[in-house]
Amino acid sequence: MDSPAYRASLDLCVSFTPAGHIRSNAATKSVENGLTCFERTVPLSTQQMAFAAFEKVKFDQLLIAMLTRKLLTSEWFQAETLIYNRTTLDGVNVPAVEIVFSLNKNFRREKHEWIYNEASKVIALMTQWTSFPYPLAALKLFSAPIRASSHSALGLITLQDRLVEHPSYTLAHVSLIHSVILQWLSGIVSMSSADESCFTFTFSLAAGEISLERVRPGTALTVVYAWPESDCNKRRYDASDFA
């Protein structure tokens, strides 16, 4: 089971304080006396099992602990939840999206709406690009004080809070888009070779547009960020960046 090549459907349960809330790859099935159980997962490798836990402490303070196979973070901060219902975009079904993000001096609720807007567009594009719809009823996105820019497990994405609170940062958009793309490339579809994971994505902050293109096998991919106030910034990647 430790090999990413092996996957299994799992019935996951996690013990946490009764006042807490836990999210995982699958939907919540039951909560009783601090034990949260989830619906049976789609086939997952052990590397894809993920949990996010947050606890109300007093007033609007919450504790969030991001757990995968290793503890990513456990820190105190204020938080708020945004929930978007299932919808369709360009004729494609988009799952419900729950966003949990930290509150701080830079917080403005409307500053986080771009997360849903961009995530839903990439979900629609990846569904069309791969011909595989998103298999889960909901996608959970967490903004948390983690060291990495992002972490993507099927059904649960963690984004670094310092990035998402500043949507003018290029890396904030790159981290989100890569994380949603990795929902497919590491969770839904398999590639017959590393070259096939090469693609190009372009997004325009001004126009709110994101596009994906296949790249000829064996070539590096170019990601173009079209910003309204400056020239396009380009960075070259190869398939190892998405391993």
| DSSP conformation letters of 143-212 | EE--SSSEEEETTEEEEEHHHHT-TTSHHHHHHHHHHHHHHHHTTT---SSGGGG-EEEEEETTTTEEEE
**pLDDT confidence of residue 81:** 80
Rounded CA-CA distance 156/148 in Å is 15
**pLDDT confidence of residue 213:** 58
**pLDDT confidence of residue 186:** 67
H-helix or E-strand containing 234?
strand 233-237
Q: What are the pLDDT tens digits along the chain (243 aa)? A: 566 667 788 898 988 877 778 888 889 999 988 899 999 988 887 778 888 877 654 434 444 444 444 444 444 455 678 889 999 988 889 999 998 876 655 556 667 788 898 899 889 888 887 788 888 889 999 887 777 778 888 899 988 888 877 777 778 888 888 889 888 876 666 555 555 555 555 554 444 556 555 555 444 333 333 333 333 333 333 333 333
The domains of the chain, with CATH numbers, are 13-190 (3.30.2010.30), 191-243 (no CATH)
**pLDDT confidence of residue 139:** 94
**pLDDT confidence of residue 93:** 92
